[in-house]
Amino acid sequence: MLIMDKNLIAKLYSKKNRFNEVEILLSKKNIISNKKLFLTLSKEYNELAKIVKYFKQWLNINKNINNTKKLINNIELKDLVIEELQLCNKNKLIIEKKIVNILSKKDNINQHGCFLEIRAGTGGNEASLFASDLLYMYSQFSENKNWNTEIINTNYNHLGGYKEIIIRINNKNAYNYLMFESGGHRVQRIPVTESQGRVHTSTCTVAVIPVVQESKITINSNDLRIDSFKSSGAGGQHVNTTNSAIRITHIPTGITVECQDERSQHKNKAKAMSILIARLNNLKLKEKQKKEIFTRRILLGSGDRSDRIRTYNFPQRRVTDHRINLTLYRLEDIFNGELDLIIQPLSNFYFNK
C-alpha cells in the first residue's frame, strides 16, 4: 500500500527546503522591519512547520528501516530485527497518514458538485462500450445517493457506446465522493464482437472536475473563440439541421469545449461555458500544486488521467483497485452502483487518522 510516492516525496523535500529558507529570512533585520512581509513569512512558516516536522520523522523512520534491514541475515538477531521492522513500518504508516491529513485539510473544493468526463481509450469499439458501462455504474451510484445528473455532451460510437460523454452531478458532496475516480479504468472481458471467445483488455479514462462558482473565475470575452456547427448523433438520432452545436476555445490556454446535446444554441453555449470554467479552475489548481500548494489528487499519484487505477475482470467477477491493493469479487454489485464498496476503503486509507 503506497501513500508516499516519488512525486509526493519530492514535494515534501521542497517544503522542507522552503521551511529552512523562511526560517533564515525571519532572522534578517530588513525582514523584521518590514511588518507586512514579516507577517506573510511568519504565516508561511507556521503552515510549513507541522508538515515538515512529520516529514523529518518519516525520514528518520525510513533511515532506521534501511539500517535495520542490513541485520536481517544475522541469525541471532533475526527475530529482533523482524520485530523492529514491523514496529517501524507501523509507525511509518501512522506518520504518512498524518501527513496526508494535514495536506488534505488545505483542500477546500471537496464540497462541490462535479463534472464527470468518461473517454474511451485503447480497445476500439469495446472501449466505447466500456465507457457506456462506466456511465451506467456512475448513474446508478448517483441514483442511490439521490443526486441529480445532467448530460452535458456526448460523442457516440456507432455500436451504441460512447467515445466521450460528460455529465454534471449537482449535489454539493459529489466531488467529495468521486474525487478518487480520476484515472485509467481497465476492463478484461470477451467483447460482443469477439467470435472466438478470447478475453480482451480495453481502457477508459475518467476525469472528475469540481464545479466552481462562475464568480471565482474571470474570463475575458476577447480570449474566447466561439464556433457553431451542426450537431451529430448515434445512428441518425438527435441530429440537428441547424448550427445549434457550440465549440468554445479559450485562446490563452488552448482548452476547447464542445456541446451539442441541446437543440438550443444558447443552452449549448451555457453548458459549454460551465465546463470551460471548471477546466480553467482545474488548470489553476494544478498550477498551485506546482507552487507547493497540495490537493488530494497529489496524494493519489500524478493525477494524470492515464494512470491505471482500477481493473474490472468479468470472467472472474473481480474488481481490483491498484492504489490500495483492494480486490472484491462483487463486480455486478459495483456496476449496479454500489461504489461505496471501493470509495469507503479509499477514503479510510488516505484520510483517516
**Grid cell of 74 as nine digits:** 544475522
Contacts of 90 (CB under 8 A, 6+ apart): none
**Grid cell of 322 as nine digits:** 491498484
Arithmetic mean of pLDDT, 225-239 = 66
More confident residue, 194 or 120: 120
Q: Which domain holds residue 89?
A: 6-104
Q: Is residue 312 part of a domain?
A: yes
> At which residue does the C-alpha cell 480486490 appear?
327
Q: Residue 349 belongs to what H/E stretch?
A: helix 340-351
Domain end residue (candidates: 49, 71, 104) = 104
Domain end residue (candidates: 74, 104, 134) = 104
Q: Is residue 232 part of a domain?
A: yes
Arithmetic mean of pLDDT, 4-29 = 85
Arithmetic mean of pLDDT, 104-127 = 79
Specify whether 127 is located in the same domain as 44: no
Residue 2 to residues 6, 54, 225, 346: CA-CA distances in angstroms?
10, 17, 43, 12
CB 173 within 8 A of CB 164: no
Burial of 83-101, coded b for 16+ CB within 10 Å and e otherwise, reads: ebbeebeebbeebbbbbbe
CA count, 13 A, side-chain hemisphere, 270: 6
Specify whether 241 is located in the same domain as 151: yes
Q: Is residue 240 part of a domain?
A: yes
Q: 47-56, 105-114, 142-151 — which is least confidently predicted? A: 105-114
Specify whether 345 is located in the same domain as 292: yes
**Integer Rg of the chain from CA:** 24
Residue 130 pLDDT level (bands cut at 50, 70, 90): very high
Specify whether 114 is located in the same domain as 98: no
Whole-angstrom Cα distance, residue 232 to residue 245?
9
pLDDT tens, residue by residue, 112-123: 789 999 999 999
Arithmetic mean of pLDDT, 50-60 = 93
Q: Is residue 307 part of a domain?
A: yes
Question: What integer best gives the mean pLDDT of the chain?
Answer: 83
More confident residue, 102 or 161: 161
CB 244 within 8 A of CB 268: yes
CATH of the domain at 263: 3.30.70.1660
- CA-based nearest residue to 85, from 73, 99, 67: 67
Q: What is the β-pairing status of strands 308-313 and 183-189?
A: parallel
**Grid cell of 131 as nine digits:** 465507457
Give the pLDDT of residue 294: 37
Specify whether 136 is located in the same domain as 226: yes
**Grid cell of 207 as nine digits:** 476525469
pTM of the model: 0.56
Specify whether 164 is located in the same domain as 227: yes
Arithmetic mean of pLDDT, 77-87 = 90
Specify whether 159 is located in the same domain as 114: yes
Specify whether 115 is located in the same domain as 66: no
Specify whether 96 is located in the same domain as 118: no
Arithmetic mean of pLDDT, 205-209 = 90
Specify whether 225 is located in the same domain as 308: yes
Specify whether 53 is located in the same domain as 142: no
Specify whether 230 is located in the same domain as 288: yes
Q: 15-24, 121-130, 273-282 — which is least confidently predicted? A: 273-282
Q: Is residue 1 part of a domain?
A: no
CB 269 within 8 A of CB 259: yes
Give the pLDDT of residue 142: 95
Give percent above pLDDT 70 in the chain. 83
**Tally of structural domains, the chain:** 2
CB 280 within 8 A of CB 255: yes
CB 133 within 8 A of CB 217: no
pLDDT tens, residue by residue, 309-340: 999 999 999 999 998 899 999 999 999 999 99
Q: Is residue 120 part of a domain?
A: yes
Domain end residue (candidates: 87, 104, 121) = 104
